[in-house]
Structure 1
Amino acid sequence: MAKKQNNPNGQAVKHEFIFHKKNYIFMFLGIAFIALGFILMAGGGSSDPNVFNADIFNFRRIRLAPTLVLIGLGIEIYAILLNPHKKNK
Protein backbone atom coordinates (compact mmCIF):
# COMPACT_ATOMS: atom_id res chain seq x y z
CA MET A 1 0.00 0.00 0.00
CA ALA A 2 2.26 2.70 -1.22
CA LYS A 3 1.30 6.17 -2.30
CA LYS A 4 3.55 8.30 -4.48
CA GLN A 5 3.64 12.08 -4.27
CA ASN A 6 5.99 14.73 -5.50
CA ASN A 7 7.86 16.81 -2.97
CA PRO A 8 8.68 20.49 -3.58
CA ASN A 9 11.88 19.49 -5.42
CA GLY A 10 9.89 17.46 -7.95
CA GLN A 11 11.18 14.10 -6.72
CA ALA A 12 8.75 11.24 -6.17
CA VAL A 13 8.27 10.31 -2.52
CA LYS A 14 6.90 6.89 -1.68
CA HIS A 15 4.67 6.66 1.43
CA GLU A 16 4.13 3.26 3.06
CA PHE A 17 2.17 2.13 6.07
CA ILE A 18 4.24 0.84 8.96
CA PHE A 19 2.03 -2.20 9.47
CA HIS A 20 0.66 -4.54 6.85
CA LYS A 21 -2.36 -6.83 6.63
CA LYS A 22 -0.66 -9.66 8.57
CA ASN A 23 0.18 -7.27 11.44
CA TYR A 24 -3.42 -6.06 11.67
CA ILE A 25 -4.79 -9.61 11.68
CA PHE A 26 -2.61 -10.47 14.67
CA MET A 27 -3.55 -7.18 16.36
CA PHE A 28 -7.26 -7.88 16.07
CA LEU A 29 -6.69 -11.43 17.31
CA GLY A 30 -4.85 -10.07 20.36
CA ILE A 31 -7.63 -7.54 21.03
CA ALA A 32 -10.18 -10.37 20.84
CA PHE A 33 -8.23 -12.40 23.44
CA ILE A 34 -7.95 -9.40 25.76
CA ALA A 35 -11.65 -8.54 25.40
CA LEU A 36 -12.67 -12.15 26.05
CA GLY A 37 -10.49 -12.20 29.16
CA PHE A 38 -12.10 -9.07 30.56
CA ILE A 39 -15.59 -10.36 29.73
CA LEU A 40 -14.84 -13.58 31.62
CA MET A 41 -13.62 -11.56 34.62
CA ALA A 42 -16.87 -9.58 34.82
CA GLY A 43 -19.83 -10.40 37.03
CA GLY A 44 -20.19 -12.14 40.34
CA GLY A 45 -21.22 -9.07 42.27
CA SER A 46 -23.89 -8.89 44.90
CA SER A 47 -26.56 -6.24 45.38
CA ASP A 48 -26.46 -6.79 49.16
CA PRO A 49 -23.10 -5.78 50.73
CA ASN A 50 -23.75 -8.04 53.73
CA VAL A 51 -23.82 -11.19 51.57
CA PHE A 52 -20.53 -12.74 50.47
CA ASN A 53 -20.51 -14.34 47.01
CA ALA A 54 -17.83 -17.03 46.75
CA ASP A 55 -18.14 -17.10 42.93
CA ILE A 56 -15.54 -14.36 42.73
CA PHE A 57 -12.86 -16.96 43.50
CA ASN A 58 -13.80 -19.54 40.86
CA PHE A 59 -11.40 -20.91 38.20
CA ARG A 60 -12.79 -18.71 35.42
CA ARG A 61 -12.03 -15.42 37.18
CA ILE A 62 -8.79 -16.37 38.93
CA ARG A 63 -6.97 -18.44 36.29
CA LEU A 64 -8.63 -18.46 32.89
CA ALA A 65 -9.46 -14.78 32.36
CA PRO A 66 -6.05 -13.35 33.40
CA THR A 67 -4.32 -16.01 31.30
CA LEU A 68 -6.34 -14.96 28.24
CA VAL A 69 -5.45 -11.30 28.86
CA LEU A 70 -1.73 -12.14 29.10
CA ILE A 71 -1.89 -14.28 25.95
CA GLY A 72 -3.61 -11.37 24.18
CA LEU A 73 -0.88 -8.97 25.27
CA GLY A 74 1.74 -11.42 24.00
CA ILE A 75 -0.04 -11.59 20.64
CA GLU A 76 -0.11 -7.78 20.51
CA ILE A 77 3.65 -7.60 21.12
CA TYR A 78 4.19 -10.20 18.40
CA ALA A 79 1.98 -8.22 16.00
CA ILE A 80 3.96 -5.05 16.60
CA LEU A 81 7.35 -6.72 16.18
CA LEU A 82 6.30 -8.86 13.18
CA ASN A 83 8.18 -7.91 10.02
CA PRO A 84 6.13 -9.03 7.00
CA HIS A 85 8.97 -8.16 4.61
CA LYS A 86 11.37 -10.65 6.19
CA LYS A 87 12.06 -13.64 3.98
CA ASN A 88 11.88 -17.09 5.55
CA LYS A 89 14.88 -19.30 4.81
Structure 2
Amino acid sequence: MGEQKNKDLSKGEFIFGKKNYKFMLIGLGVIALGFILMSGGGSNDPNVFSPDIFSFRRIRLAPTLVLIGFGIQIYAILLNPNKK
Protein backbone atom coordinates (compact mmCIF):
# COMPACT_ATOMS: atom_id res chain seq x y z
CA MET A 1 0.00 0.00 0.00
CA GLY A 2 2.75 2.47 0.96
CA GLU A 3 4.80 1.62 -2.13
CA GLN A 4 1.92 2.55 -4.47
CA LYS A 5 1.45 5.88 -2.67
CA ASN A 6 5.15 6.75 -3.07
CA LYS A 7 5.04 5.99 -6.81
CA ASP A 8 2.01 8.24 -7.28
CA LEU A 9 3.61 11.16 -5.43
CA SER A 10 6.94 11.04 -7.23
CA LYS A 11 5.56 10.45 -10.72
CA GLY A 12 4.45 13.98 -11.59
CA GLU A 13 7.01 16.16 -9.83
CA PHE A 14 10.20 17.70 -11.16
CA ILE A 15 13.15 18.34 -8.90
CA PHE A 16 13.42 22.00 -9.91
CA GLY A 17 10.87 24.56 -10.98
CA LYS A 18 10.45 26.23 -14.35
CA LYS A 19 12.47 29.24 -13.20
CA ASN A 20 15.39 27.00 -12.19
CA TYR A 21 15.50 25.29 -15.58
CA LYS A 22 15.35 28.65 -17.36
CA PHE A 23 18.40 29.88 -15.45
CA MET A 24 20.18 26.56 -16.08
CA LEU A 25 19.68 26.93 -19.83
CA ILE A 26 20.93 30.52 -19.72
CA GLY A 27 24.00 29.41 -17.75
CA LEU A 28 24.66 26.58 -20.19
CA GLY A 29 24.44 29.02 -23.10
CA VAL A 30 26.91 31.43 -21.45
CA ILE A 31 29.35 28.55 -20.80
CA ALA A 32 29.05 27.36 -24.40
CA LEU A 33 29.62 30.90 -25.68
CA GLY A 34 32.74 31.18 -23.53
CA PHE A 35 34.17 27.94 -24.93
CA ILE A 36 33.34 28.98 -28.49
CA LEU A 37 35.14 32.29 -27.99
CA MET A 38 38.11 30.43 -26.50
CA SER A 39 38.53 28.13 -29.49
CA GLY A 40 40.66 28.74 -32.54
CA GLY A 41 43.80 30.81 -32.91
CA GLY A 42 45.99 28.03 -34.20
CA SER A 43 48.30 28.23 -37.16
CA ASN A 44 48.19 26.00 -40.23
CA ASP A 45 51.98 25.89 -40.38
CA PRO A 46 53.63 24.62 -37.16
CA ASN A 47 56.78 26.63 -37.92
CA VAL A 48 54.92 29.96 -37.89
CA PHE A 49 53.95 31.58 -34.57
CA SER A 50 50.48 33.09 -34.42
CA PRO A 51 50.05 35.84 -31.78
CA ASP A 52 46.25 35.37 -32.07
CA ILE A 53 46.31 32.95 -29.14
CA PHE A 54 47.13 35.82 -26.79
CA SER A 55 44.21 38.05 -27.79
CA PHE A 56 41.95 39.70 -25.22
CA ARG A 57 39.07 37.50 -26.31
CA ARG A 58 40.85 34.23 -25.52
CA ILE A 59 42.77 35.31 -22.41
CA ARG A 60 40.22 37.48 -20.56
CA LEU A 61 36.74 37.46 -22.09
CA ALA A 62 36.17 33.74 -22.72
CA PRO A 63 37.32 32.44 -19.30
CA THR A 64 35.31 35.20 -17.61
CA LEU A 65 32.19 34.12 -19.49
CA VAL A 66 32.76 30.50 -18.49
CA LEU A 67 33.09 31.45 -14.82
CA ILE A 68 29.98 33.64 -15.01
CA GLY A 69 28.13 30.72 -16.60
CA PHE A 70 29.15 28.43 -13.74
CA GLY A 71 27.98 31.08 -11.29
CA ILE A 72 24.60 31.20 -13.02
CA GLN A 73 24.39 27.40 -12.78
CA ILE A 74 25.05 27.51 -9.03
CA TYR A 75 22.43 30.23 -8.64
CA ALA A 76 19.92 28.16 -10.62
CA ILE A 77 20.47 25.14 -8.40
CA LEU A 78 20.17 27.10 -5.16
CA LEU A 79 17.19 29.20 -6.30
CA ASN A 80 13.96 28.45 -4.45
CA PRO A 81 11.19 28.46 -7.10
CA ASN A 82 8.40 28.58 -4.48
CA LYS A 83 9.58 31.82 -2.89
CA LYS A 84 7.51 34.83 -3.93
TM-score with structure 2 setting the length: 0.87
Whole-angstrom distance in 2 between the partners of 1:22 and 1:61: 31
| Superposed displacement of residue 17, structure 1 | 1.4
Equivalent position of 1:48 in the other structure:
45
Higher Rg of the two aligned structures = 1
How large is the RMSD of aligned CA atoms in angstroms? Answer: 1.6
Give structure 2 stretches of 5+ with no counterpart. none
State the structure with bigger RCO (CA 8 A, min sep 6), 1 or 2: 2
Range with bigger deviation, 70-79 or 16-25: 16-25
**Gap change, CA 1:59 and 1:11, over 3 Å in 2:** closer
TM-score with structure 1 setting the length: 0.82
Which structure is higher in strand share? 1
Aligned residue pairs total 80
Give structure 1 stretches of 5+ with no counterpart. 1-7
Which structure is higher in helix share? 2
Whole-angstrom distance in 2 between the partners of 1:53 and 1:73: 30
